[in-house]
Amino acid sequence: MNLFKSFRRDDATETEWIQNHTIPFPEPSACGNVDFEQLRSYIGDKRIVWIGESSHGVSQYNTLKTKLVSFLHTEMDFKVIAFESGLSECFCANGLKSRLTAEEMLHQSIFSLWRTEENLPLFEHLKSSDLELAGFDFQPSTKAHPMRQWLQSQGGLDQGTVDELHELTERSIEWYYRIGEYRAKRQQVPDALLQQFEKSKAQAIETATRLREKLKSLPSSQTMLMLDRFLLNLDAFLNCFTLSFRAYAKRRDQMMAENLEWLLTSIYPNEKVIVWAHNGHMFKSFKPFIGFKPMGSLVSKEIVDQSYFIGLFMYEGTAATNSGEPYPIQKPRKRSLEELLNRQEAEVGFLDLRQAQIGPDNKWISRETIILEAGSFERLIVPNQQLDGLFFIRKASPPQYLKATN
């Protein structure tokens, strides 16, 4: 009985601490800069703010993140939003933003899972301001790659080179979708298709190697830097695309970490940058028992020291898969991160971990705690080692997807 009373007392003190330290927010659709102003003292002078999400298919995440990005840009002088999407697609779309509508820019840059009505205001903001779009993934993120249109707007390359670069984007997109159809279902790729891929891959890598050498003879510029990086990414992508799911995922996080470092040091060395990604890619000090480190644990210590990492979590409702299919969120178990955060009273809340002093009423933030990845499967993290701040949304619903234009 005494033990039972002790557990109840611990629960009560933890609940009190959570309620006293969580900043309540309005529903995401009602949030404005005045609400996010409360985060300024926590972010401080950090150069990089990472904004994660436990699922890609949550309307409220998209709305909240879009509004937070706007605040960071207009009120804290962040100049770049870097997406977990194709490096070259985002770079080219950014270069064409004066010629594209906001919706065209969105469709020609980021992955389809983020092409939603909730994210369209972000791209309208990109078009009307000096905020720049970047990407750090080596996977193709759109069928409508704007490479050719962007290169033709830049000048400086002969038409033959432009055509070869465009053909390489088309080839990588083709194989991403043809083989990806099997990979998404964890099915074996037919041998005949693999043989076709290997032949096409060899030709593409030979072309990419030749073009990298040719580009080195041209005057250095941001355009040339991006094209060289694109060709390097293409080589890496084609060489690992048919590996096992785990091996491919490991290589992807390694490349995303390297690409982000490159963006921060070579393209935007003096700018404040926002990183938009899944929570699972950005954990900053993750030491898996098996598996591999995420990109947030692979970037340099210098980058981590310049960063503030924010994870987004949900408690109940419905989310959508990466293909847009709705599914119910699993009820979090007792003492999971989501259950603990649900003890605060607001529908949306923010909890800082970086400045929190560990005591008997909040020991959970420095111990292994269960989280619900995508609201459907459990994993363990040490909250204050992997993240600096937590946004909590009680009720989730699927995004409103835009109609495809490609």
Question: What are the extents of the domains in the chain?
Answer: 2-143+244-396
Residues with Cβ within 8 Å of 99's Cβ and at least 6 positions away in sequence, in order, are 149, 153
pLDDT bin (cut points 50, 70, 90) of residue 156 is confident
What does each C-alpha distance from 142 to 63, 110, 404 come to in angstroms? 22, 7, 10
- Residue among 49, 72, 19 nearest 354 (CA): 49
Please report the pLDDT score of residue 289 as a whole number.
Answer: 65
Q: Is the pTM of this model over 0.75?
A: yes
Dump pLDDT digits (tens) for 356-393.
Answer: 999 999 999 999 999 999 999 999 999 999 999 999 99
**What are 300-322's pLDDT values in tens digits?**
999 999 999 999 999 999 999 99
Q: Residue 116, SS3?
A: strand
- What integer pLDDT is reported at residue 390 of this predicted model? 98
Give the class (CATH, top level) of 2-143+244-396: alpha beta
Cα gap 99→97, rounded to integer Å: 5
Q: Bridge partners of 373? A: 377
Q: For residue 6, what pLDDT is reported?
A: 45
Tokens of 233: 């990414």
> What mean pLDDT do residues 239-251 have?
91
Distance of CA 89 to the CA centre of its chain: 15
